[in-house]
Amino acid sequence: MPALPLDEAGKYVAAAYLVFLALILVYVAIMASKLTRIERDLTELNEQLTRRDDERAEEPVAQ
């Protein structure tokens, strides 16, 4: 096949590079959501630990 003119070839080249960009962006978005989940779990864990420490502090010390 003869080489495509620039205006037609440009669409294919742009499509290929956009596919690559989209793949990377989707990957980063998924990783970002996982990072958010880790952060939320960490906060939850920290709160749990604080609550437990508070409960232990309120318990009367055995004589």
Q: Applying CB under 8 A, which residues contact other proteins?
A: 1, 3-6, 8-10, 12-13, 15-17, 19-20, 23-24, 27, 31, 34-35, 37-38, 41-42, 45, 48-49, 52
Q: Looking at beta carbons only, is 5 or 60 nearer to other proteins? A: 5
CB atoms within 10 A of CB 60: 5
Q: Which is nearer to other proteins, 41 or 63 (CB)?
A: 41
Give the span between the Cα atoms of 50 and 2, in whole angstroms: 71
**Nearer CB in complex with other proteins: 8/54:** 8
Helices (H), 1-63: 6-58
